[in-house]
C-alpha cells in the first residue's frame, strides 16, 4: 500500500473524451478518489503536464496519427504502469472501422471537406499494438466503478482484478427476459464482456457489444445461430463491425461473413 497518493496522468489520443468523463461525472465520489489519487496531467480537468513522471498513465483513445504515437511512447516512458481505458485504447474503437475500407482515399474525401489536412497513420490501432500495457479497462465508455476500482487496487499495491465474464450472467442476475430467445434478436451478450450492467437488454434491446469480447467468446456458434434468425451475412458483419471491430474474435467473424456475403452476391 502506497503511503502517498497515487500519481496519475490521463493522456488522450484519438477519442471522444467520454472515458475521461467517467472521472469528472462522479460528483462527490471524485473528492473521495482525490484522497488517494493525485492527477498530474488531465486536460479535461485543466491540468497540463504530459512530461511529468507518474505512477500510472491512463491512456484514452486509439493510435490514429503520428502525433498519437509520439505522445503514447512518451507517456509510457514516464509511467511505472500503463492502463488503457475504453474501446478506442483497447481495440481501436469506432474510428478503426476505417481500417476495413477498401479505398481509404475515397473514404476520406467522402467525410472531410479538405482531406489534404488529414494526416493519419495507415491503420487506427489499439494502444497495446505499440507499447507494453499493464492492464486494460474495456468499455465504451468505461464506467466510474471500473476506473475507481482499478485505481484503488493499484494504490493498495495489488494487481487489478479483471472481470471478463459474459454479459448474460449479469443479465440473468437482473432478471431480464432473454431477447435472443423471445425476439430472436441478434444480441451479442453471450460473447461480450460484462461491465455495463446489461443496460440494453434491460430495456428489451439486443446488446451492441460496447465492452468488447468476453472470456472464451464462441462467436462462430453465435453467428451460426443468427443466420437461423434470418440475418443475412451482411447483417452479421454490421453487428460485429461497430465498436470493437478490430478485436481478433470479432474481426474473424467480420472476415468470415464478408466472404459469405461476397460469395452470395456472385
Partner 1 sequence: MEKGFLPRENLSQLHAVLCQQGYKVIGPQVKDGAIVFDGLRDIADLPWGIVEHTEAGAYRLEDTGDNRCFAWNNGPQGLKPWLFKSQQTVWRGEATSDGIRFKSEQPSPQPLAFIGIRSCDISALYLQDKHFMHSAYADPWYTAQRKQLCLIAVNCSRSNDTCFCESTGDGVEATYGYDILLDELDDGYLVDVKSERGRAITAALPLQPGSQQHHKQAQRQLKNARHQQRVMPDAEQLLKLLEHLNDKHWQDIAERCLACGNCTLTCPTCFCSKQEAEVEPVSGEHHQVRYWDSCFSEKHGYIAGMQLRGDVSQRYRQWMTHKLATWQAQYDRSGCVGCGRCISWCPAAIDIVAEANLILGDDHD
Binding flag, residue 69, partner 1 (CB under 8 A)? no
Contact of 219 with 250, CB cutoff 8 Å? yes
Binding flag, residue 242, partner 1 (CB under 8 A)? no
Stretch 139-198 residues interacting with partner 1 (CB under 8 A) = 144-145, 148-149, 152, 164-166, 168-169, 172-184, 187, 189-191
Minimum CB separation from partner 1 for residue 91, in Å? 20
Q: Give the range of 16-24, 117-125, 135-143, 211-219 binding partner 1 by CB under 8 A.
A: 211-219
Q: For partner 1, which is the closer residue by CB, 32 or 80?
A: 32
State the Cα–Cα distance between residues 63 and 91, nearest whole angstrom.
10
Give the interface size with partner 1 as a residue count (CB under 8 A): 42
**Residue 183, all three cell numbers:** 425476439
State the Cα–Cα distance between residues 72 and 40, nearest whole angstrom.
16
State the Cα–Cα distance between residues 52 and 68, nearest whole angstrom.
18
Q: Give the range of 68-76, 135-143, 221-229, 234-242 binding partner 1 by CB under 8 A.
A: 221-229
Short-list 68, 56, 55, CA closest to 12:
68
Minimum CB separation from partner 1 for residue 57, in Å? 22
State the Cα–Cα distance between residues 216 and 51, nearest whole angstrom.
39
**Residue 83, all three cell numbers:** 492502463
Minimum CB separation from partner 1 for residue 112, in Å? 41
Minimum CB separation from partner 1 for residue 253, in Å? 14
- Residue 74 CB coordination number (10 Å): 14
Minimum CB separation from partner 1 for residue 17, in Å? 22
How would you list the strands of the sheet with 6-12, edge to edge?
37-42, 6-12, 54-60, 79-85, 135-137
Short-list 70, 73, 5, 63, CA closest to 33:
5
Contact track, partner 1, 8-37, x by CB under 8 A: ------------------x-xx--xx----
Using CB under 8 A as the criterion, which residues of the chain lie in contact with partner 1 when the complex forms?
Answer: 26, 28-29, 32-33, 144-145, 148-149, 152, 164-166, 168-169, 172-184, 187, 189-191, 204, 215-216, 218, 220-222, 224-225, 228
Amino acid at each position: 500500500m502506497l503511503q502517498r497518493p497515487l500519481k496519475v496522468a490521463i493522456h488522450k489520443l484519438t477519442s471522444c473524451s467520454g472515458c475521461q468523463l467517467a472521472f469528472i461525472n462522479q460528483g462527490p465520489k471524485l473528492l473521495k478518489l482525490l484522497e488517494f489519487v493525485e492527477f498530474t496531467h488531465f486536460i479535461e480537468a485543466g491540468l497540463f503536464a504530459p512530461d511529468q513522471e507518474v505512477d500510472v498513465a491512463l491512456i484514452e483513445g486509439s493510435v490514429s496519427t503520428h502525433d498519437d504515437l509520439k505522445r503514447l511512447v512518451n507517456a509510457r516512458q514516464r509511467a511505472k504502469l500503463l492502463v488503457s481505458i475504453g474501446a478506442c485504447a483497447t481495440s481501436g474503437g469506432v474510428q478503426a472501422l476505417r481500417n476495413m475500407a477498401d479505398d481509404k482515399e475515397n473514404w476520406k474525401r467522402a467525410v472531410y471537406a479538405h482531406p489534404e489536412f488529414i494526416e493519419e497513420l495507415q491503420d487506427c490501432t489499439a494502444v497495446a499494438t505499440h507499447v507494453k500495457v499493464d492492464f486494460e479497462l474495456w468499455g465504451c465508455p468505461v464506467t466510474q466503478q471500473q476506473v475507481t476500482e482499478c485505481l484503488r487496487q493499484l494504490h493498495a499495491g495489488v494487481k487489478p482484478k479483471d472481470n471478463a465474464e459474459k454479459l448474460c450472467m449479469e443479465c440473468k442476475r437482473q432478471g431480464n427476459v432473454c431477447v435472443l430467445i423471445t425476439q430472436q434478436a441478434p444480441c451479442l451478450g453471450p460473447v461480450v464482456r460484462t461491465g455495463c450492467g446489461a443496460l440494453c437488454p434491460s430495456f428489451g434491446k439486443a446488446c451492441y457489444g460496447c465492452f468488447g469480447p468476453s472470456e472464451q467468446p464462441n462467436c462462430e456458434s453465435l453467428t451460426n445461430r443468427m443466420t437461423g434468425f434470418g440475418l443475412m451475412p451482411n447483417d452479421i458483419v454490421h453487428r460485429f463491425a461497430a465498436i470493437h471491430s478490430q478485436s481478433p474474435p470479432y474481426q474473424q467473424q467480420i472476415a468470415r461473413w464478408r466472404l459469405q456475403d461476397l460469395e452470395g452476391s456472385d
